[in-house]
Structure 1
Amino acid sequence: MKNLLGRLMGRSYDDLKKTTAALQLPLFKGGQNELAVMLYRELMDETAVKWIWDEMSSQEHQFLNWLMEQRGMAAFVDSLPLALESSPAEVDALLANLARLGVVDVEEVSTRGNRVLAAQYRFAYGANLGGGEERRVVSLSNEVARVLKKLGQELLAPPRFDASLSSLFDYYELGQLEQIALAWKLKISQPAYYKEEIADLLLEILSQPERIAAAIGSLPAGPKAIYNLICNKGGRINLTELRKQAGMEESDLRQHLRYLAQRFLALETYFEARRYFFIPKDIMQPHVPIANEPPPIEPIAREPAVTRIVPPYALAWDILTVLNFVQQNSVALTAQDSRLPKRLIKRINEMMLVPSELTDDADDRLDLVLHAALSLDLLRHDAGNLVVTPRTDDWAANLTFAAQQRRLFKLWLDDVHWFEPLVYVGGYWWSGNVTAGRKKVVEKLASLEAGCWYSALSLMRHFEQADPYLFRSKADTLRYIGYRNLGRFQEEWPQREGRVILKIVETGLHWLGLVDVGYDDEGQFVAFRVKPEAHELLATNGDGKLPKTDSMRKMLLLQPNFEVLVFHPESGSLWRLLKFADLTRHDMVSAYTITKESVVRAVENGTSVSEILKFLAEQSQREVPQNVARSIEDWGRSIKRVRLTDATILEVDDPNVLDELAASRKTSTYLLRRLSPTLALVNLPETNAWSRSSALQKLAKTLKTAGYSALALERANGNGRERE
């Protein structure tokens, strides 16, 4: 026997349209094959078959159940009156109605005795093969029979009114759950999920009252009216009453109910052989599970064996140190990975207020310093070199350390390009939302008592229970690792998410000067505390008011041995000090030394001796020692200055011509300085990349237009080249 689609394809176009009308489907305007495919999909849909079942009489129900028990789910029509105890006319009416509904097929076949001859023999040898005769046969396709059998099981099963969402999912096939997931705009990855994975994703969404309320609120008018009607009936209503109460066309009612079923907002079941529509109880009255209280973040009674404390301005200070080093030195990056060479890393690290713990393959804190400077456009890459940008002086001179710390904190909080130093197994973290995790950790730390030491392990355990999916939602986690690996994810959580949480505290927040960290005797990170002055910054995500600074306070103490002690560091003053002094040590108080080399370097970079002495007089808590002032002046005078300028010279034969050029409005703008009666430095006009003429040729044309015969001598490979 043919399958269902083959049976429908074999029907005439008129018969297909009659079946479409009998099933109360919308008017179809396609061709015969398209209509057959549409009816095939309808008859394969369990809900559609239930509507067909409801249209049948009890006699038709009994006949279909009898037919499914027959061999091959087929029977000779002429034997049915005896088998059904009905008249031939009643049998014909029953079969005609079932065929019109598309459930059974009645056709003429060639038989021999009580056996139906195979179709291929009929095709090859004609209808009558060896005395075969034509008889009418009624048959049921395997596809329709499978749906009807499942319907029969549902009729005998207990009603589903009180079933939980997870229990209701068990009644659905994978493809059906996929359609529901798509209706909720869940992205289904390829290859397809396991059924349990999609059920788990749907359960997470349908367990959120706010998502359910939003979905119900956005329902179209028709489905919303049906939903409210079922809701007003206590969450369940039988089909007969629903039809009466809804007062709408049958086709519209079916369409609205299907819309709700596709979103799992209204389902169907059978109770006492009657068809009911109901709203799942967990959606009607959302079940809010009583979550186990996560373990608290525990304070510790004793201070850790080793503590590390950095001042709040440490990161900003070290950024200035790096900027000053790059400004005063040529910094070429490695060709392979555009990183600093190891020799420069070592030199810079020795200058930093909080140096990195350098290893063969890691300089984590210096990486953060460079990353922050590049992200803030204070540094940039230029033809394989690292150079400062024009924004550097504005950053250093016009922002206090407190303002810089705030900007660095906000940058770190939202920076998707910076990852806490950690080995991310198999690229696992590259698709996670680390910034969202940072914000949740910051929010939790802001709720703790400032100045109190807390156990780092208890912080990790708290998040493991309270918010294990802080870096990636459960749905995204399942999409990434698959449902079968969820157990392994939970087992490895302390080594993955847990480690990242601890690194957020131990590195980022500590390097920003917001928390202090503690270690045991074996060097393991075990404790942390939020600094009192950092609490407001954490609580507002960096949006609070800046603390007031004392602009009159002098930050330096200049001693006769040329040593400068930094007592009250501030960005603008430190930036100017770095120009002419070299670091001696970082200790309780940082010390810099003024040397002849450092003064010469400052002068060569544009800082005058008078500016150095004026700064020291303004910022030193004591008067500048006379020996220091005299030495700086002597070192400045000892510098033999030579200026090199790439210049263009204009030469005339007659000094009167140069006088005319200087007096003319058109040409005087090009004269920079007169060197002799017949020689002058000229300022060349601007040109762009698309200009056909060089700047020298453009000036020559301007002079020619003004009435002068200009001969341009361009330099090429060291030789003069004349151009009229």
Structure 2
Amino acid sequence: MMTSETPRQLLEAYNYHALLDIARFNRIPMENKSGKRLYKRELVRELEKRLFTKKHVREALEQLSPVERKVLDVLLLRGGRANTTAFQRLLVGHGIVSPTRGKMDPWNPSATDFDSVVARLTLHGLVFSAEGPISDLGYTRTVLKRSLKPGPSLYIPPTIRKHLPSPDPELLQRPARVSRIQSASARTLQRDLYLYWSYVRDHRVQVTLKGEVYKRALRELANSLLTPIKLEKKQGERDVPYLLFLRRLLMSLNLLTLRGRKDLIANDASHFLAADPAQRVRRSFEAWLDGDFWNELYDQPLPHVSITTGGGALPYPTPKPIVEARRQVVRFLQKLSKPSAQDWVALSNLIEAIRVEAYEFLLPRNYRARSSSYYYSYYYYGPLYKTPYAAHRNPLGWTFQGVTSEEEGWDLVEAPFIANVITGPLHWLGLVDLGYGDAGQDPVAYRLTPLGAWLLGLGPPVEIPTEKQGRIIVQPNFQILAMDPVSDQTLATLDIFADRISAERAIEYRMSRESVYRGQQQGWSAQRIIAYLEEVSGGKLPQNVVVSLQEWQALHERITLYRRVVLVHAQDPEVLDRLSRHPNLTKLLHHRPAPTAALVHPRQVDALIKALGTAGVLPVVTRQAGKEENCLVADEEGNLRLVHRTPSIYLARRLDRFAERVDDHHYRITPDSVQKALEQGLDAPAILQELSVLHQGPLPFRLTVRVKAWAHHYGDAALQSLTLLQLRDQAALQELLQDPEVGPFLRRFNPPPERALALVTQDDLETLRRLLTERGMALSDTLLS
């Protein structure tokens, strides 16, 4: 919209007949002293000299009808500029003007249709078209000279605006009637960020090839939040945008990382958790506002529109036009917000303001794709072709299915986008409360929270309750209660040596010998735990808790590690008891840490072997770990049988990584044991390689299939029908590809190697589907992106 024109440039952009009408309306001479009609440049100079003065503006205001004055005031409230279509809709919607259905009549003072009223304001020299009408023939666009008929956009030149009085700011503001409030909570989001991060820290969480958290882990994650979310079995991450937003925000803040495009890893979060609460909210807000991890068009579905991104930019990282549109919505939010955070603003007022003042804030209306191939698409003949909602008409390269006209498109795309910004991230971040009407399920109004007003520069800094106002209570039964407000850094510390039982407003922990041992492994001695709990609770701990912690510490320190020793392992205690009574073995086997085991100094190994020989025993000697081979037999179900009467202790350690112990001579491979192996860094090939070394002979084929399925070795896949066209030769194919009518329907079938595509005959489809399902693969009916 050209609003930087000088008065002369503005007038020169109008056609000669329109200038004559303006001069005639204002009784400005149109002829020179010789009686000849002024040339256009002479007429422009005369109009410039007379129209753009304080005197003329005041005289014009006095001549305006009530309808004309109200239209002028509304335009002033919209910043003095507006999209014509949106401006007309606004005025008609409020009953100020009627829609223009026939030919306009600006010379008739009683004509109250939109075109006639705006044209009269142009005749008065107050409102002008910011650009001329556009002749669009599809293959060419021409901007015509401006006329009295309103152009695509309207504006009041600055030289006129400075002489106009300020209108009533409440003009056209629809009152917000709120009967139900959904309050925002920055504390909830920040606590959920911590709970999500801590879950990933303590569990293995993976994402699919589509980049979504697996549903089983997602259900557990959702249930671990401050307010647990109950997910249906079929619901995924994209069905609950809030869960997706939490993960993407954590990744944007560098608190989570995706390793190998598969595993979510929790990074060190101490710097973030220890930050001032208000600054954490600010960092989260800025990460969203300027970030490219969230897409309000794609991640929060549009109710009546489906988006096709093929042929254009992918939805991630979020394209720059969407990020800038998001910022534009926030700027209008600042502009329209009431002085008090307690005042509600109708969501429709925000949408109307953006529609009128920044109609093209999301999709420009004069965009043309660089590639001419778009012009031969299906939409050449469809209703979308000449709208910005077709792929070749917007910089995103996206098609918005369900839109049939440009005016309808704004209601179906831009308006929901604005609502998504308000009801999604801004509400989740704790910056806006939502207001609902009597019966509607959608919000009708919003208001800034004190924290939102501060972040947008509209209110004073907010004092967020600190940990000093919360409480940590240690009970004699080893229960620890963290009563809000308590910092997430404190919760992260409690996680080290206590088990979290619940994550409600009063977060419950419980200490046990096992949880304290976990803390001791990380350098938290009993004395350190006691000192910390007394510091955060502000008092002495129950005596029995102190005594138990000190006893657990003594037990921990009582454990002794022997390095470079030899272990003698017997099948049962009786065997070792009998050998210990042998005169040549008594001194060698005197140190028995367990009934079936004895420790021997490495220098005594040769003497021990010789003494065992004199006692009639030939021992199996393992001098190095990892040399166990041909020591078990497996069946197709995953049952493992150890073949030696006294299995090697090294073998038990190796099997414990991927199998469950049944007894001393039997193990079993199960889905849970394979999952445990995956969490320890093993994968299906590593498990099968280990089994092949230990197994006598080849592994059962069905067992290898099961292990790969349980490990999700092949990932997910897609089976989609494909139609192939075979031609005479490459020359015929090349010629048809260049055909303007046939070409758009053809693509070469030469997929890149990374797409990993294979052809399947229709007859084999169901058999293949069954076999792939047996191998643990989830099959979708659309190709993976």
TM range (shorter): 0.3 to 0.5
> Which of 1 and 2 has greater Rg?
1
TM-score w.r.t. the length of structure 1 is 0.45
When the two structures are superposed, what TM-score results if normalisation uses the length of structure 2? 0.42
Relative to its length, the structure with more helix (as a share) is: 1
